[in-house]
Structure 1
Amino acid sequence: MHWFKGRPVHRGLAALVLAVAALAACDRAPEVHREQAFVLGTLVEITAAGASKEELGEAAGAAFREMRAIHNALTPTAEGNLLADFNGAAPGEWTALEGPLTGLIPRALAVQRASGNTFSPHLGRLVGLWGFREPPFPEEPPAEAAVEDLMDGGAGGEALELRRSDGLEARLTRPGAGLDLGGIAKGYAVDRAATKLKEHGVDNALINAGGDLRALGTRGNRPWRIGIRDPRDRERVLAVVALRDGEAIVTSGDYERSFTHDGRRYHHLLDPATGRPARRARQATVMGPRATETDAWSTALFVAGARGLERLGARQPGLVIDAEGRAHANAAMEERLDWRAEGMAAP
């Protein structure tokens, strides 16, 4: 674990707001086009270099349709979708997994185990109780007794099991638990969108799904470069990261789905150990070869705080801004950050 050049981040680099870096290029820039759509509860932007507007339009359309299908299958507030059907089963009842659940539940459980349960895929009933699923968000926290009832019912422990029968099956084992894949599904959708782009011949692109990003190829003769902004001052860029082909970068922070009550911020990133908003960090960022696991690990690292960098491992870049606004990074992240890019403008 390292300090960035021995300096704290002023005012707290609480959220990683990721934007494509608009840096001047000496050579002639490639043709760049963008497509946007509102998917997964956020604005998704696909930027492609070297593809025509028509080529990107067709490829992005396929990517957006794939992302919408994942959203429709996994949104916690829908009725009659895969997630609702799974949660509708009685505790202890085995359910055959279909569609995206088949791949996502095993991957979510793998991160849960590796992180020491700072990431949990079954906090659904707690998230619903706190009211963070969709706006308008509440103005005050739920009753302490209601939180404790769900925690006593096993919401925060390990309450999701897998087995193989004719196919893959899963079950919730405690009445307080409810499947919610919000901490991993957006990353999975980004990975699927990347696959669709490549299937349609778009090999150089950047997918930005509200801060979950994945790069494909390059932007002409340079990599896709991402600006890290201070969420307390959105115009202030603090550092730049150059993404490699296929690499993802995801942040989790206390600044999106949140409300303030009696001078204290309450946000949607719940600590499985307490059933309440995690308090060890303001922001956590993880980079990795796939957005799916990177998404889940950014949540796990946020909940764990700086101590979670040890579980993340030395080879996967990770950054934590702790509750006091101090920046911590492992060596893999420290060597990737360029702090000379302050003042860089977004496109």
Structure 2
Amino acid sequence: MIPFCSKPLGHVTLKVGVFYSCHLLLSLWLSGCNAPQNTTQQSFYVFGTEVQVLIVGADTQRAQQAIQAIEQRFQAFHHEWHAWEKGGIVSKINQAIANNQAIDVPDSVKTFIQTTQKLSAQTDYLFDPAIGQLINMWGFHSEEWHGPPPSDTKRQAWLSSRPSIKDIYFKHNQLFSHNPNVQLDFGGNAKGLALDIAAKTLTDAGIQNALINIGGDIKALGFKNHQAWSIGIQNPNNPKQAIAKLQAQASDSIFTSGTYQRFFDWQGQRFSHIINPNTAWPADSFASVTVIHDDAITADTAATALLVAGEQDWRRIANQLGVEAVFIIHRDGRIELTQAMQSRLIDLKN
């Protein structure tokens, strides 16, 4: 049993500034802004964001070759797993489902979908990547996000069929769907898979100590000069300052989901890109949720699911996912964290 579920209030609540919709990211926190000795650090752009790889304790040539391999794999991954650009595996799956056809998929794709099905069930389908039609209806399958929101009639029509990843099933490596309205969009947990791929690429190259950062979501490997990595959660009111500093263990995955990241304003109301599948309406419970877990796909899934779950249900969903370390910023600025997250806390700016 996770500690915060064994007590009515197994978490700590603190008050900081009011954050509204300001940008909040996880970022590398290198003490004194100095990188460790014998480091190789490179960045590149993919998934619509900056990717940073920091390697410690490996010779430069080997480190650079490993980073190049990660970049190549990420570019291919982005093409294959993009939800609405034609040509990739997800686009082909979605087309087959819409046509009521079966499609052969590789073992790796089948395994990831089955893993996601299990995790989605553990979230009571508050996280459900079969809602591509709904995301497109809200306009988040485009580079520019703008209103108006979809009508109640359109939302209710979608809810009447409620496409879900549980509608997908396999016969050997053939993928089928019970519901032709299923359209997969793995934007909510594909970065977790990508980080696992990057971590394996580094370990296969014999690299033991590194950080991989995809737009603020992080996978830690090993240590920084025999010390735990320190990860900063930036102050959304001042991105150059951090609200908190966390200690990352050797294989931690740290993910943040927030209602501030992608949104549009319409007639004085802000609409986030994170949609509750059970209401077909954007989540608005928390400003952000940060989680730590050793499995990157689980952490990625949990950050979104807990944000959708909101005040009443986030503890139950976290327990079902086996996620113990949670850091929440409420829309009114309160910070709430579990006992497991409190044990990782190095510093909190109050």
TM-score, normalised on structure 2?
0.88
Is 2:212 the counterpart of 1:204?
A: no
Q: What is the CA–CA distance in structure 1 between the aligned matches of 2:217 and 2:113, rounded to whole Å?
A: 19
**Paired residue type of 2:340:** A
1:221 corresponds to = 226
Q: Is the 8 A contact 2:146 2:265 kept in 1?
A: no
Q: What is the CA–CA distance in structure 2 between the aligned matches of 1:13 and 1:207, rounded to whole Å?
A: 28
2:169 corresponds to = 162
1:20 corresponds to = 28
**Displacement, 1:234?**
1.4
Q: Is the 8 A contact 1:4 1:327 kept in 2?
A: no
Post-superposition Cα deviations, 1:256-281, rounded to whole Å, max 9, x if no partner, equal: 21111122211111001111111222
Superposed, which structure 2 residues align to 1:1-347 within 5 Å? Answer: 1=4, 2=9, 5-12=12-19, 16-24=24-32, 29-90=36-97, 93-98=101-106, 100-155=108-163, 157=164, 159-163=166-170, 165=171, 167-306=172-311, 307-313=313-319, 316-340=324-348, 342=349
Post-superposition Cα deviations, 1:232-270, rounded to whole Å, max 9, x if no partner, equal: 331331111111111100010012211111222111110
**Displacement, 1:53?**
2.9
**Displacement, 1:42?**
1.0
Q: Is the 8 A contact 2:10 2:339 kept in 1?
A: no
Q: Is the 8 A contact 1:16 1:231 kept in 2?
A: yes
**Paired residue type of 2:25:** V
Q: Which runs of 5+ in 1 are unaligned?
A: none
Which stretch of structure 1 is more off in the superposition, 111-120 or 1-10?
1-10
Percent sequence identity over aligned pairs: 26
Q: What is the CA–CA distance in structure 1 between the aligned matches of 2:299 and 2:36, rounded to whole Å?
A: 30
Q: Is the 8 A contact 2:230 2:248 kept in 1?
A: yes
What secondary structure does 2:137 align onto?
Answer: helix
Q: What is the CA–CA distance in structure 2 between the aligned matches of 1:104 and 1:210, rounded to whole Å?
A: 22
Q: Is the 8 A contact 2:276 2:282 kept in 1?
A: yes
Post-superposition Cα deviations, 1:3-45, rounded to whole Å, max 9, x if no partner, equal: 875422321387641111121499x942222111111121100
Q: What is the CA–CA distance in structure 1 between the aligned matches of 2:20 and 2:233, rounded to whole Å?
A: 9
What secondary structure does 1:133 align onto?
Answer: coil
Which stretch of structure 1 is more off in the superposition, 262-271 or 51-60?
51-60
What secondary structure does 1:259 align onto?
Answer: strand
RMSD: 2.4
**Paired residue type of 2:161:** G
Q: What is the CA–CA distance in structure 2 between the aligned matches of 1:253 and 1:299, rounded to whole Å?
A: 8
Q: Is the 8 A contact 1:30 1:219 kept in 2?
A: no
What secondary structure does 1:251 align onto?
Answer: strand
Which stretch of structure 1 is more off in the superposition, 177-186 or 323-332?
323-332
TM-score, normalised on structure 1?
0.89
Aligned residues: 338
Q: What is the CA–CA distance in structure 2 between the aligned matches of 1:33 and 1:182, rounded to whole Å?
A: 29
Distance 1:262 1:3, change over 3 A: farther
Q: Is the 8 A contact 2:165 2:182 kept in 1?
A: no
